[in-house]
Amino acid sequence: MTTPTPTHWTEIDSPLGRLLLTADPSTGVLTSLSVPGQKGGRTVQDGWRRDPALFRSAEEQLAAYFAGELKEFHLEVRGDGSEFRERVWAALDTVPYGATTTYGEIAARIGASRAAVRAVGGAIGANPLLILRPCHRVIGADGSLTGYAGGLDRKVRLLTLEGALQASA
């Protein structure tokens, strides 16, 4: 019996607080990005291996994003989810920088019925790759800034950074 390879991780500073990134050690594919206090976010576990070098590209791209210099990430990511969640997450990846969409529009993009909007919301809420997979760009049908696992204040900051919201005076 082989022992599983430990998850590799690092933390980086950001305007949203310390970001925890995890990756598959054999492929370097990012598996999560969590913010402090995130609902359902990851925390470092015993046996995990800190490996900042593995995350250099992610760190550089996130710094450029927060500086307003990068509009699209070019990183390999993988979230482990059901087929339905994977379809929802793939639809999130198509929402462009500076734009917003609704839960109903995401449901329509994946061919789900209007009745599936709640399930779409659940899948979006379970997104393990905050910021990188832009669930912050999903808003309510009435334009309201509905829930965000990283907290509504962070959602506002991300949408303001991207120009989808006007900065308050």
List, by residue number, the catalytic residues: 135
Q: How far apart are the first and last CA of the chain?
A: 60
Measured CA to CA, the distance from residue 150 to residue 87 in angstroms comes to: 21
Q: Is 70 exposed, middle or buried (0-12, 13-18, 19+ CB in 10 A)?
A: middle
Measured CA to CA, the distance from residue 23 to residue 42 in angstroms comes to: 12
Phi-psi bin for 47: left (phi > 0), alpha (psi -120 to 50), beta? left
Q: Which residues pair with 33 in a beta bridge?
A: 21, 129
At position 80, the amino acid (one-letter code) is D
Q: How far is CA 120 from CA 35, 38, 73, 91, 101, in A?
A: 22, 19, 23, 10, 13
Q: How many CB atoms lie within 10 A of CB 50?
A: 11
Q: Write out the two tokens for 87.
A: 């379809």
